[in-house]
Amino acid sequence: MSEISIAEAGRQLRAGATTSAALTEVALARIAEVDPKVNAFITITAERARADAARADAELAAGVDRGPLHGVPYAIKDIYDTAGIRSTCHSKLRVDNVPAEDSVAAAKLAASGGVLLGKLGTHEFALGGPSFDLPFPPARNPWNTGHIPGGSSSGSGAAIAAGITRLAMGSDTGGSIRGPAAYCGTVGFKPTYGRVSRRGVFPLSTTLDHIGPLTRTVEDTAIALQLLAGHDPMDPASADTPVGDYLADLEKGVAGLRIGIPRAFFANAPGADPEVIAAIDRVADALRAAGAMVEDVTLPSYGAFSTCGRVIMLCEAFAIHEADMRARPLDYGRLTFERFILGATVTGPDMIQALRLRRELTDAVQGVLQSYDALITASSLVTAPRFDETPPAMLAGAPMQTMPFNVTGHPALSVPTGLSTAGLPMGLQVVGRPFDEATVLRVGRAVEVLSGWEGIALPMV
């Protein structure tokens, strides 16, 4: 299944060349084989998966076709509510939480005829990790299990890279989809703020939270986004904006497109891995050769975005966790507590200045995107660190380059650019105009082709 795209699985299902039950058994067997090594799953819903698959096969036999995910296995990060299935946020505080209702995204995936394999590991409450003091072990990177898979959608990245499933849902408040995508060699998409309903997904920071898919390919992501996008009047952040056709232009290439690169963001940043930067430069050259106009552009300093995003995130997160931080501090993992408590040190004026700064940063990015169809920049300055290389505290100089587009809300897609000499994935981000996910996916598809990533096999776990 892992090397068969969602679209190809759909073709085979409709041609009678395979069944959803067969696809599901392959996925469950792969979980049994590799999950003890990568810890992608918190809960495996084998019984539910087999029931979903049987229903999908029966419906197809009866001529009922729910669309491109019909009969295809997927998995969901464990901060999404799933009716009747525990949804723990990877935390002792919610280890027995069994929601009565699905989150909107979980309901949409179920209604599309997909097969739920289970719930995926995360950093605790989408922030604290990787940690060894939580009820479940941290996910590991399938390319090298001594390395982190990135977070917080750590199980989602690991499940895709381990060849368990083609679609894993994640969430992204400062890079929690794009980071694991970059470290695990998957595609990861944070759509525009408001594009996909977050209702029923446990919040980390309500004005920075986005949800979206991690997948093996850009086409898989386009299919998933088509199912997930749309207005939800019950999510106050949801935008009532028309949903595009995310597959129509996917193969159009980049000829004639204008693409900006804010090289100052990443090229000379402290700690930047020359291999990661060189891979981005190679892709930029390939995009030029394919007919795009690619130019350096200037954005505000990375530090301004990082400061703005971190202040807002920690302040909003503490507001959500304030009561439990007072009443049950020791029930949080060490890293989680140490990060959330910083939100208590933000003053009212600090938060107001951060919100003012956010507006200015958003306008600055939008100003650049008036002249460019998309931007490309690093997802991370480095490849996945080893577990023993992760810093003891959450520091501003972290290698992720993803926070700016949580601050501004622009759509941002992480796409692999190749493997390092150490055999670890590298990636870049494609950023686009608000609600223009179609162009982001089109550029991302070109990067996928031009980088040669399509020819790279999944790791042997």
Partner 1 sequence: MPEILTDAALEAEFRTLAARAGVTVPEERMANILLGYADFRAQLELLRGIGRDHTAEWSNIFRLPTPGDAA
Number of residues that bind partner 1 (CB under 8 A): 56
| Minimal distance, residue 358 CB to partner 1, in Å | 7
- Helical H runs in 169-296? 178-184, 218-228, 263-266, 274-289
| Minimal distance, residue 326 CB to partner 1, in Å | 5
Catalytic residue among 5, 91, 176, 414: 176
β-strands 115-120, 41-44 pairing: antiparallel
- Of the candidate spans 58-66, 141-149, 357-365, 443-451, the one that interacts with partner 1 by CB under 8 A turns out to be 357-365
Which one of residues 409, 418, 444, 459 is an interface residue with partner 1 (CB under 8 A)? 409
What phi and psi, each to the nearest 5 degrees, are found at residue 75? Answer: -140, 165
432 forms bridges with which residues in the sheet?
A: 374
Which one of residues 434, 440, 443, 461 is an interface residue with partner 1 (CB under 8 A)? 434
Which token pair is 190? Answer: 């944070």
**Which 3 state secondary structure label does DSSP give 338?**
helix
Q: Which helix (H) or strand (E) holds 296?
A: strand 293-296
| Minimal distance, residue 456 CB to partner 1, in Å | 35
Which one of residues 9, 254, 354, 374 is an interface residue with partner 1 (CB under 8 A)? 354
Check residue 344 for interaction with partner 1 (CB under 8 A). Answer: yes
Residues 219-258 that bind partner 1 (CB under 8 A): 239, 241
In the block, tokens 């597959």 appear at: 247
- Cβ neighbours for 361, distance < 8 A, ≥ 6 positions apart: 300, 304, 305, 308, 404, 407, 408
Picking from 223, 228, 229, 247, the residue whose alpha carbon sits closest to that of residue 72 is 223
CA–CA separation, 196 vs 187, rounded Å?
17
- Cβ neighbours for 309, distance < 8 A, ≥ 6 positions apart: 174, 208, 403, 404, 406, 407
Nearer to partner 1, 90 or 310 (CB): 310
| Minimal distance, residue 48 CB to partner 1, in Å | 37
What phi and psi, each to the nearest 5 degrees, are found at residue 120? Answer: -105, 150
| Minimal distance, residue 460 CB to partner 1, in Å | 36
Binding track, positions 156-195, relative to partner 1; x by CB under 8 A: ------------------------------------xxx-
Picking from 428, 447, 405, 444, the residue whose alpha carbon sits closest to that of residue 192 is 405
Q: Is 154 a catalytic residue?
A: no
| Minimal distance, residue 424 CB to partner 1, in Å | 26
Nearer to partner 1, 210 or 216 (CB): 210
Nearer to partner 1, 298 or 345 (CB): 345
Q: Is 176 a catalytic residue?
A: yes
Q: Is 77 a catalytic residue?
A: yes
Nearer to partner 1, 128 or 459 (CB): 128
What phi and psi, each to the nearest 5 degrees, are found at residue 157? Answer: -60, -45
By the 8 A CB rule, do 198 and 209 touch?
yes
Nearer to partner 1, 108 or 433 (CB): 433
CA–CA separation, 436 vs 175, rounded Å?
19
β-strands 258-261, 293-296 pairing: parallel
Check residue 322 for interaction with partner 1 (CB under 8 A). Answer: yes
Q: Which helix (H) or strand (E) holds 61?
A: helix 46-61
Check residue 422 for interaction with partner 1 (CB under 8 A). Answer: no
109: left (phi over 0), alpha (psi -120 to 50) or beta: alpha
Binding track, positions 282-321, relative to partner 1; x by CB under 8 A: ---------------------xx-xxx-xx--x---x---
Which token pair is 307? Answer: 């400061």
Which one of residues 47, 96, 370, 421 is an interface residue with partner 1 (CB under 8 A)? 370
Which one of residues 84, 146, 291, 329 is an interface residue with partner 1 (CB under 8 A)? 329
Which one of residues 396, 421, 455, 460 is an interface residue with partner 1 (CB under 8 A)? 396
Q: Which helix (H) or strand (E) holds 413?
A: strand 412-419
Catalytic residues: 77, 152, 176
Binding residues vs partner 1 (CB under 8 A): 192-194, 207, 239, 241, 303-304, 306-308, 310-311, 314, 318, 322, 325-326, 329-330, 334, 337-339, 341-342, 344-346, 349-350, 352-360, 362-363, 366, 370, 392-397, 408-409, 433-436
